[in-house]
Structure 1
Amino acid sequence: MDATGHTERENVGDREPVLDVVDRVCELCFGLFMALTFVGTVSAVGAGADAGHKMFYTALGCNLAWGLADAVMYLVRTLVSRGRRMTVAHSVRSEPDAAAGVRALRDAMASWLKPLIGDTELESIRRRVAARPDLPQRAVFVRDDLIAAASIFVLVVAATFPVALPFVLFAHVPTALLVSRVLTIVMLFGSGVALGHYAGFRGWHAGLAMAVVGVLLTMAIIALGG
């Protein structure tokens, strides 16, 4: 996918994932934390026979709502970012002064990239942008955007089940709470391992850190009334 959001390579094997490792893990953890806020307040749930079901459906309803909101905001963020890139591209293409076009490209770059790319490389990019006849007039969604939004929704909702489903499967609330906590720690540890490998850290160190941070964050959310 290029700067304007159009896919240049049609070969499926060449396509990048619609969500990278960080996006997938963070969305899963987001859903996990949302579900944990309900599990963390299990003592406030009545002792009736349907207490576990109420816990599960309340957590599921919350994550359905937040999964939808997160997916929609992803689409909004994607469209705005793509629109900004297209604005820069049109500005560069319509700019008769090559030096001004290079400056526009440099201003649009991330700060950490600016020392790494010289004006010669930017001029080459400017010429390619200026020569493109197929720049769309406005930002539009592409198929991968909708797939990514749907993936976000599914990840947030799916995180509900390991945390809240034990309260449906086990009538004994302390047992359900124990199973839920064990599954939560395992998921947090696995998420940390995935992020650690992606970032070049030691996997088990990152896993332990993520588990500790996740537990502390959940406690803070509950304490703040989340």
Structure 2
Amino acid sequence: MLTTSSDPQATEARPRLLDTVDRVCEMCFGLFMALTFVGAVSAVGAPADAPRTMFYTALGCNLAWGLADAVMYLVRTLTERGRRLSLVKAVNNAADPANAIAHLRDALSPGLSTLIDDAELEAMRGRLARSVHLPTRPTLGAQDFLAAVGIFLLVVVATFPVALPFIIFSEVSTALLVSRVLTILMLFGAGIALGRHAGFGGWIAGAVMTLVGIGLTIAIIALGG
């Protein structure tokens, strides 16, 4: 996405390390990862150490995937900054203003391109031409690493409501029931958050997300969970 800032290294202004969509999606990612392992537990014929084993297996899996997701966030951020820096350099090194404007228009999304005329792109080109502190290469800042840590924690923390019942309850069947109920409640909350963020009914979105969760849980049970 094209930004109008003269400094392509500047991180987007945001009140929190991750926006609503990022936080909810990362939580759901960890939730579904944990649910995949929890769904492998069968209440019938489960060994005595199955609950504790399942808890540590789900936690270990989410630790690994949380780390991978955090690292890939940093890779995506660095790549995007490199793309923006390349765009600024291409605009500033263009042979003429028309060529520079063409570079800017190519960087716009199809929907946004129809809303911005050449005069606005020319004003943007002028601001970019006055950039005097361009970095030589894209870099990462402290906020980026904090956001990566936040992603890691979101993925890992999502494990506990799903897997913790297997530590609390000695009966596997009870732990499974509590785990699946908590999963549905978390999905309902995630749907409400996404719905409100998108500007439509939060309760409707929560119900839809809940149905998705129920469908996934049923599928896991049918596959032997």
Provide TM-score, normalisation by structure 1: 0.90
Matches within 5 A, 1:8-27: 15-27=14-26
- Count of equivalent residues: 221
In structure 2, what is the Cα distance between the partners aligned to 1:68 and 1:21? 20
Instruction: Tell me what 1:202 maps to.
Output: 201
Instruction: Find out whether 1:53 has 2:57 as its counterpart.
Output: no
In structure 2, what is the Cα distance between the partners aligned to 1:51 and 1:148? 35
In 2 relative to 1, CA 218–89 (structure 1 residues): closer, same or farther, beyond 3 Å?
farther
Give deviations 1:125-168, integer Å, cap 9, x for gaps.
10000111101111111112111111110000000000000000
In 2 relative to 1, CA 220–145 (structure 1 residues): closer, same or farther, beyond 3 Å?
farther
In structure 2, what is the Cα distance between the partners aligned to 1:27 and 1:210? 15
Mapped contact 1:25–1:195 kept (Cα < 8 A): yes
TM superposition shift of 1:93: 1.2
Read off the aligned partner of 1:209 and give its amino acid letter.
V
Instruction: Find out whether 1:5 has 2:9 as its counterpart.
Output: yes
Q: Name the SS for the 1:43 alignment partner.
A: coil
TM superposition shift of 1:201: 1.3
Instruction: Find out whether 1:74 has 2:81 as its counterpart.
Output: no
Instruction: Tell me what 1:147 maps to.
Output: 146
In structure 1, what is the Cα distance between the partners aligned to 2:165 and 2:49? 13
Matches within 5 A, 1:102-117: 102-117=101-116
Give deviations 1:15-39, integer Å, cap 9, x for gaps.
4322111110000000000000111
In structure 2, what is the Cα distance between the partners aligned to 1:90 and 1:136? 10
Read off the aligned partner of 2:79 and give its amino acid letter.
V
Provide TM-score, normalisation by structure 2: 0.90
Mapped contact 1:189–1:208 kept (Cα < 8 A): yes
The CA RMSD measured in Å over matched residues stands at 2.3
TM superposition shift of 1:114: 0.4
In structure 2, what is the Cα distance between the partners aligned to 1:215 and 1:107? 43
Q: Name the SS for the 1:153 alignment partner.
A: helix
Instruction: Tell me what 2:91 maps to.
Output: 92
Instruction: Tell me what 2:35 maps to.
Output: 36
Read off the aligned partner of 2:169 and give its amino acid letter.
F
Instruction: Tell me what 2:126 maps to.
Output: 127
Give deviations 1:169-218, integer Å, cap 9, x for gaps.
00011111111111111100000000000011111110010011133245
Read off the aligned partner of 1:113 and give its amino acid letter.
L
In structure 1, what is the Cα distance between the partners aligned to 2:217 and 2:102? 46
Mapped contact 2:41–2:50 kept (Cα < 8 A): no
TM superposition shift of 1:219: 5.1
In structure 2, list runs of 5 or more residues that go unmatched. Answer: none
Mapped contact 2:180–2:217 kept (Cα < 8 A): no
TM superposition shift of 1:222: 7.7
In 2 relative to 1, CA 15–22 (structure 1 residues): closer, same or farther, beyond 3 Å?
closer
Mapped contact 2:43–2:172 kept (Cα < 8 A): no
In structure 1, list runs of 5 or more residues that go unmatched. Answer: 9-13
Percent identical pairs in the alignment equals: 62
Mapped contact 1:45–1:55 kept (Cα < 8 A): no
Which 4+ residue blocks in structure 1 deviate beyond 2 angstroms? 14-18, 44-50, 214-225
Mapped contact 2:191–2:208 kept (Cα < 8 A): yes
Read off the aligned partner of 2:32 and give its amino acid letter.
F
